[in-house]
Amino acid sequence: MSTLSLPNHLMPLLMHIEPLLIPAELYQLGEIVTVTVNASEPLIHIKTTNCDCSLAFNFVAAEEDCAPPTYQVRDQWLAPVAELAELQQKVVADPSLVLCGFPAGDGCVDIWHHQGQARAIYCHHSGASEAQRAMLLVALALDYPLGDALVLARAHARSYQDHNHRAQGELIWPTDAKVFPRALTVNHPQIKQLGWLPDGQLVSPFAALESNDLGLYPVLESADWVERVLSLGVKTTQLRIKNPQVSDLEHQIQQAIVAGELAQAQVFINDYWLLAIKHHAYGVHLGQEDLDSANLVAIQQAGLRLGISTHGYYEILRALEYQPSYIALGHIFATLTKEMPSLPQGVSRLALYQKLIGKRVPTVAIGGITIERAAKVWRTGVTGVAVVSAITQADDPAIAVTTLSSILAPKVEIMTAGVCDDDKHYAL
């Protein structure tokens, strides 16, 4: 169970917080959140299974006379305001600083610190401020990372203002892509006008897949396994060799690429984009950290398709800015095949991510997906389902491929408007 403790002066937020906790519990978006009010405490306190933090809005240490909060959220702005690039550098220098609703261009920007960098999202209007604060706190109490909490908060603030959910008394959770902000990357069309200092080079859209009906997408640790699944009729797969020091790395990459060409299949090379370009691979799959180091322009100009891993709302928005060939959504369940920096997303969150993306780009669910779990993952509307041990550790891989291919048959109609658990399919 998670707890959210409010100081006395923020009690009015309860009228916004409580309605958000209803769908969060109903659709199993996180642990149950208990809300309390502490009249003697000036800070907001949030405690979850994985996080224990404090927050303050527009915190002034001299006035509060207490230790600094984990996050100092500034969301009130009076003219004159600083340049966006100046605030960007302040956030880089101060991991506790979170800037919300900063007026820029014809909209507003939210900025936060992430691993020595400043990240930001932009939208054309800020929405309702109390709704924004409430969703930020609820999302953090549900164990969303800070970036995702800020994305949800801005989307909810805009949706609340646009549709006046409070007056209608509806169950509320942001799902419409139109209310979500955009990630500020080098590919954002207003990046120069806003004054944000981006990393990297502007990159054109990546080539589309030959077939968007991805279905079964095995992720395999050797070229021999790639050849084996292709011989079983699989048409999309990925070579993921974790150890870059393996002696025959380049040979295995070349072997997998040739196997894909012979089978007329879509074979992606994980991580090793230079070798993928050298040997004319069909596509490359990159993690979020690779987007900062890989030469995306070179990959695009070589004609390779690009898949990008994501682990939540902000990373999805960031990936969409690069217009990749597909987006991977994960990890859905706990997995032992790879050390993960994030928590398992679960099927309910997966359904919401798919709702956000819609048909803009193909999607692949990945992480801990077994034959038993494949059907409920497939019902969320994803384009493909990636599996690892479900095939490589099966008693009979051929039977596993046949079974999974049957479960993941092309859909007549994709359903993306709901949230799933083990037994139900809900409509938001």
Q: Are residues 61 and 180 located together in one domain of the fold?
A: yes
Q: Are residues 413 and 376 located together in one domain of the fold?
A: yes
Q: What gap in Å lies between CA 185 and CA 183, rounded to an integer? A: 6
What integer best gives the mean pLDDT of the chain? 92
Cβ-proximal residues to 251 (8 Å cutoff; 6+ apart), any chain: 223
Q: Are residues 282 and 312 located together in one domain of the fold?
A: yes
What is the percentage of the chain residues whose pLDDT exceeds 90?
84
Q: Are residues 125 and 85 located together in one domain of the fold?
A: yes
Q: Domain range spanning residue 164?
A: 2-194
Q: Are residues 178 and 276 located together in one domain of the fold?
A: no
H helical segments located in 181-248: 191-194, 223-231
pLDDT digits (tens, 9 = 90+) for 268-320: 999 999 999 999 999 999 999 999 999 999 999 999 999 999 999 999 999 99
Whether 314 is in a domain gets the answer yes
Q: What gap in Å lies between CA 347 and CA 252, rounded to an integer? A: 34
Which range (156-165, 201-210, 304-313, 349-358) has the least confidence? 156-165
Which DSSP string do the residues of 110-167 spell out, in sequence order?
A: EEEEETTEEEEEEES----HHHHHHHHHHHHHTT--HHHHHHHHHHHHHHHHHH-HHH
| Token digits of residue 399 | 């039977």
**Torsion, CA 208, CA 212, CA 340, CA 286, rounded to 10:** -20
| Token digits of residue 334 | 């706990």
CATH number at residue 377: 3.20.20.70
Q: Are residues 188 and 254 located together in one domain of the fold?
A: no
pLDDT at 39 over 70: yes
Question: Within 13 Å of residue 279, how many CA atoms lie on the same side as its CB?
Answer: 23
Whether 234 is in a domain gets the answer yes
* Domain end (from 147, 164, 194): 194
Q: Are residues 357 and 398 located together in one domain of the fold?
A: yes
Q: Are residues 264 and 404 located together in one domain of the fold?
A: yes
Structural domains of the chain, count: 2
